[in-house]
Amino acid sequence: MPHDAAPATPSARAHDEPPARAADLGIVDALAQLSFLVQNALGKVAAELGLSVIQLRLLGVLRDREPGMRELARHLELDKSSITGLVDRAERRGLVRRAPAPHDGRAVQVSLTDEGRAAARALEADADRRIRALAAGLTDEQRAALSLLASAVVSGDSAL
């Protein structure tokens, strides 16, 4: 191929030509590099709203629950002082609110505000678009298999 010719793209390939097979990186390198790609995509999603990745994760956790601070720290794998600072910053931005827990007046629950819910929806849509783009070169069957395998790894379910 001449040096100025553009390489063939998947859409420019002949329909009967199978896609090139990727070299096997091995489980450790493949998962580590996939993690880097996903974290980079999430970092870009968060940056567009002026958030950090951990703030993005906070909004993601709060989409469907109103945990106490201890449970939130467990979800995000943070210590008490880190979770307090994270929630303080999100509260100052108007993304979350704290309220006394109904079962224990000494405990505090954290929930999204309307602004936080809107930000979470925007983050989710952008993350969906960016992460799906990472798998755009895969067939529907490959994407389905990757989804099942990733779900098994995340859940610790080895019974596939």
* Angstrom distance (rounded) from CA 5 to CA 50: 39
Computed on alpha carbons and rounded to an integer, the radius of gyration of the chain in Å comes to 21
In a domain, 59, yes or no: yes
Measuring CA to CA, which residue among 76, 106, 105 is closest to residue 90?
76
The model's confidence at residue 5, banded by pLDDT at 50, 70 and 90, is very low
In a domain, 86, yes or no: yes
Q: Which tens digit of pLDDT belongs to each residue from 84-128?
A: 999 999 999 999 999 998 888 788 999 999 999 999 999 999 999
The region of weakest confidence among 23-32, 39-48, 57-66, 151-160 is: 151-160
Q: Is the pLDDT assigned to residue 20 strictly greater than 90? A: no
Mean pLDDT (the chain, rounded): 87
In a domain, 107, yes or no: yes
Q: In whole angstroms, what separates CA 28 from the centre of its chain?
A: 20
In a domain, 37, yes or no: no
What is the residue range of 99's domain? 46-133
- The CATH number of residue 100's host domain is 1.10.10.10
For 15, 70, 73, 83, the CA distances from 79, given in Å and listed in that order, are: 53, 9, 6, 6
The dihedral over CA atoms of 116, 120, 126, 132, expressed in degrees to the nearest 10, equals: 170
H or E stretch at 43: helix 27-48
In a domain, 139, yes or no: no
In a domain, 119, yes or no: yes
In a domain, 70, yes or no: yes
Report pLDDT for 4. 44
Q: Higher confidence at residue 17 or residue 149?
A: 149
In a domain, 90, yes or no: yes
The count of residues in the chain is 160
What total number of domains does the chain contain? 1
